[in-house]
Structure 1
Amino acid sequence: MRNQPKYNFFKNTSYAIAGLKDIITTETSFKIELILMIILLPVIYLVDISLVEKSLLFISLMGMLIAESINSAIERVVDLVTLEYHEMAKKAKDVGSAIVFLSIIVFIVIWVTILWNI
């Protein structure tokens, strides 16, 4: 049997909001990326580019937050299993960091490419 309650839209939404509250209060990297998003959202709105380009800017910005969330989830699960050093735990955490790193590269490439041509 799965360790999962029956699907309920409102209950699942409350779980998602609880997760967001937790990551905002406990993860410094997420806070920095959230501040970056708050600063750059008006830029997306104000810059004179196509809707597709604006969408790409937004998606790449959200991608960083999504990647940071995935990384935090990986780190928490690893820490739940063991707080002692283990090579596999290190590798799992390194992969989580790589996800964030790659999302930042995608973000930079998209933003530079689109804004360079204005």
Structure 2
Amino acid sequence: MWLTKLLRSFVYALEGLKYTVVTQRNMRFHFLSALCVLLLCLYLPMSKVEVLVLFVTIVLVLSAELFNTAIEAVADMVTKEYHPLAKVAKDVAAGAVLITAGFAVIVGISVFYPYLDSLFRLALSQSTVPANISLAVIVVLDFFLTLLIKGWLQRKEHQAWEPSMIASIASCVSVLLIAVIGNLLITLLVLVLLTMLIGTRLRYQSSRKPIVAGVILGLLVAVVGVQLL
């Protein structure tokens, strides 16, 4: 009898995990991030303590998201209408997830940075780009190429795919900065700024196609330009 109850408890727990993964986008992101972290643990020569710290951090983040989902479900069950206390419950639960995720980012950077920095320096040791006027030429080239493509797509009546000028130049400049500086910490900061910019554009623009096209175009121009220097 006790074995049956134990098996049922496992089944119920798995159903809860399945429900959270299926219905919550953030949980899917957390699972994908955890998978990437575990793959890095297999690849990098990490110590036992570092791996255990990462495991504990992953469990904390997933648990916080599970509690957040449970609180949201209870609040929705109690009332389907707007209620200040239901909002407080959901906001506080989301705040707990945010704090836990921020803690996970800090732990991840602290653990992985020495290993990734060594790999990053090794990868760019022979490909650092000198800072000269050629970089400005690449940016100007990206500007005119984006403008030409926008005009060509407009004539072809494909305005939905016109690349965003801001996204294109921002992506191009970001890649050039990374190639010139060759520092992992600066690279992460540049990528954070680029992500914030692109995220803002996606939030306030109805169509995502111009943003995506602009980012891809800027990246291609910068990569090709760096290879030709």
Under a length normalisation based on structure 1, what TM-score does the superposition of the two structures give? Answer: 0.87
1:9 maps onto 2:6 in alignment: yes
Match of 1:62 in 2: 59
For residue 114 of structure 1, what is the amino acid of its counterpart?
V
* Residues matched between the structures, number: 112
Q: 71, 75, 86: which one pairs with 2:72?
A: 75
Q: Which has the higher contact order (CA 8 A, sep 6+)?
A: 1
Moved more, 30-39 or 89-98: 30-39
Q: Which of these residues, 62, 81, 84, is aligned with residue 84 of structure 1?
A: 81
Pair member with larger Rg: 2
Distance in 1 separating the partners of 2:72 and 2:27 = 14
| Contact 1:44-1:58 within 8 A present in 2 as well | no
Q: Report the counterpart of residue 117 of structure 1 in structure 2.
A: 114
Q: CA RMSD in A?
A: 1.4
Query: Within 1, Cα distance between the matches of 2:76 and 2:6?
Result: 29
Are the equivalent residues in 2 in contact too, given 1:57–1:111 (CA < 8 A)?
yes
Give, in angstroms, the shift of residue 10 of structure 1.
0.6
Q: What stretches of structure 1 move > 3 A for 4+ residues in a row?
A: none
Q: Does 1:98 align with 2:89?
A: no
Aligned to 1:3: none
Distance 1:57 1:45 in 2: 12
Unaligned runs of 5+ in 1: 1-6
Counterpart AA for 1:77: V
CA-CA distance at 1:117 after TM superposition: 3.3
Q: Partner amino acid for 1:54?
A: V
| More displaced stretch, 68-77 vs 57-66 | 57-66
1:25 aligned partner, one-letter code:
V
How far off its partner does 1:46 sit? Answer: 2.1
The alpha-carbon deviation at position 37 of structure 1 amounts to 1.4
Amino acid paired to 2:30: E
**Could you tell me which amino acid in structure 1 is paired with residue 72 of structure 2?**
E
